[in-house]
Structure 1
Amino acid sequence: MAKQEKTNAACAWQPKETTSSPFSKRFSTGELPVEPNRYRLIWGRFCPWATPIATMIDYVGLDQVISKGVIYSLRHAGVDDNWFFGKGDEKDPVLQTTSLRENFEKADPNFTDRPTIPALVDVKSGKVVNNSSQTIMNELAENWKAYFRTDVADILPEADKAAILRMADTIVKDITSIPGKIAGVSSQEAYQQLANQYFDRLTWLDQHLADRPFLMGDHVTVPDFWLTTSLIRFDTVFYFQSKLNLKPLTAFPNLWQYAKRCYQIPAFKQNTDFQAIKEHFFMVSDAPVESIDRVLPIGPDESKWMD
């Protein structure tokens, strides 16, 4: 019988950032030059940690100066400690590597951990220079403004920076990170605490959005990329898989309208792949499907996002 694929082997938990890591270089410190066409974001269409950055890049126009590479949405059968750029031995067309581990090892020859996404790669060297989701997002939002489109409002204005980053931290702590934490619980009490944290925050956000179109007011800012990405995955996967089923997204009227409003923005829609999300979190790998937990559900109905 084929090796059983574990659900929690899907989207790897985000690593703790350390200042001594070769994967924690920043633009704000001068370690990394702000140089067009120098960097490539490696992300997964399923990933709640990488998709916010991919969406933001397209939204502000950084796609003209920072390229994006997409990993294969499924693990290779029997391999749960690497990401690949295709089902077989396909190479990333820019980096010319077949797996993300190769790019981590270029930065650290002694690297033995699990490669994670997102990963910001220096194209010149092929080295991963940062793999912290929030750091990459905030560094790009603050240090690459010279390359933003002129027809979009500032997603991290200096006057509101502290409040915006506090809101983003809240979304990441109480929404984005909860399904990953639930996957690792071993008691009813731990699950209920996390589930309550999640739904308490959804209730608060629903009230918060009663009198504004976006989280911080009348235009998109950094936390909107985090929240919309997570809400889409809540509706598509986590309501079922993570037992976050106290209420569906549609039961929060302001949140539901907000999520659909954001989804209609081209950058959000073009970086949303419902099929890849379901394949990754349910099938996990490309090994033969031999159990119901890895069968793709027929729902939920995606057409409601277009209403």
Structure 2
Amino acid sequence: MKIMTDKIQPNDACAWQPNKATETPFSKKFSTGELPVEPNRYRLIWGRFCPWATPIATMLDYTGLDNVISKGAIYSLRHAGVDDNWFFGKGDETDPVLKTTSLRENFEKTDPEFTGRPTVPALVDIKTGKVVNDSSQGIMNELASAWKPYFKPGVKDVLPESNKSAVLEMANTIIEDITAIPGKIAGAQSQNEYEKLAKQYFDRLEWLDERLADQQYLLGEQITVPDFWLVVSLIRFDTVFYFKSKLNKKALTDFPNLWRYAKECYQLPAFKQNTDFQAIKEHFFKVSDDPVRSIDRMMPVGPDESKWNA
């Protein structure tokens, strides 16, 4: 276990493991029959701050799957001195459904020899307490397809078979060029590497702004999977990454079509009720509940969140 000092390392915030093996004890699927599609059997563990988990939490609420798959949020800060686990509260609180104190316990139920760093999102089988999938894209796409019979009436398909390849391609584009960039910038080791990543990010924002000039959502007139990814990332760009990741060539409000799109989506209950500006800022700036003694861990007073409701 690495002992944390007051000088938090950039990658300690929202640590993400993108290069996991394809087949692990945590990569079971509904589409292959490995997991039964059974209402009230699974629980999504997410972080209110997390750009990798929040899209799934939002999709659950938007489609009505939150009625058959429960959600539990981890504590948004690392515990003092611990950077290799997530807890369900500031102290020793337990998740009310899983009855565990930390997410590591659920990973270890799946693999007793687990020594990695537990990550969110994590889909947990309530019957066994085991993590059955910890891939953000995997969970999103599996729930959006295999669980369609449990969508609430009137909700349009967020991963339509007729347009599936285009939907997944757009989602991959958003993830590669927007969602993943702040994490890569945190690990950049040269000015050139940072500038290349920033250019990739803003080139994609420009492209998206043009795309949204004459359509409501990314793939037309209905919300699909990539919209969940993009809106969640745009909120964090405005709230955190413009400052912390030095992604400050332009502000979100400088992209008129993206800003209109993001605000309109935010007004939908599923997006608004899964947006916690305080948790986002606490996590990415404070990181842990160690006492704050340096400017790099102090939360900025802005930006003004009221503009999202203006």
> Which of the five TM-score ranges fits, normalised by the shorter chain?
over 0.9
Q: 1:145 aligned to 134, 148, 163, which one?
A: 148
Aligned mates of 1:19, 1:35 — CA distance in 2: 24
2:116 is the alignment partner of 1:110: no
> Between the two proteins, what is the percent identity of the paired residues?
75
Q: 1:266 aligned to 266, 269, 276, which one?
A: 269
Report the secondary structure of 2:72's partner residue: strand
2:14 is the alignment partner of 1:21: no
Q: How many residues align?
A: 307
Aligned mates of 1:192, 1:25 — CA distance in 2: 38
The letter of the residue matching 2:69 is I
- Residue 195 of structure 2 corresponds to 192
User: Against the structure 1 CA distance between its residues 2 and 133, is the aligned structure 2 distance closer, same or farther, given a 3 Å change threshold?
Assistant: closer
Answer yes or no: is the 8 Å Cα contact 1:262–1:268 preserved in 2: yes
- What's the offset of the Cα at 1:195? 0.3
Point out the more displaced range, 229-238 or 2-11.
2-11
Aligned mates of 1:55, 1:109 — CA distance in 2: 31
The letter of the residue matching 1:127 is K
- What's the offset of the Cα at 1:3? 4.2
Aligned mates of 2:155, 2:220 — CA distance in 1: 14
The letter of the residue matching 2:263 is K
Q: 2:207 aligned to 204, 207, 210, which one?
A: 204
Aligned mates of 1:6, 1:79 — CA distance in 2: 13
Answer yes or no: is the 8 Å Cα contact 2:6–2:292 preserved in 1: no
Q: RMSD between aligned alpha carbons? A: 1.0
- What's the offset of the Cα at 1:298? 0.4
- Residue 290 of structure 1 corresponds to 293
Report the secondary structure of 1:150's partner residue: coil
Answer yes or no: is the 8 Å Cα contact 1:18–1:24 preserved in 2: no
Q: 1:130 aligned to 122, 133, 154, which one?
A: 133
- Residue 221 of structure 1 corresponds to 224
- What's the offset of the Cα at 1:304? 0.4
- What's the offset of the Cα at 1:18? 2.4
Report the secondary structure of 2:212's partner residue: helix
Give the TM-score normalised by the residue count of structure 1: 0.98
Point out the more displaced range, 7-16 or 107-116.
7-16
Answer yes or no: is the 8 Å Cα contact 1:40–1:68 preserved in 2: yes
Q: Deviations over 1:133-187 (max 9, x none)?
A: 0010000000000000111111111101110010000000000000000000100
Gapped regions of structure 2 (runs ≥ 5): none
- Residue 59 of structure 2 corresponds to 56
Give the TM-score normalised by the residue count of structure 2: 0.97
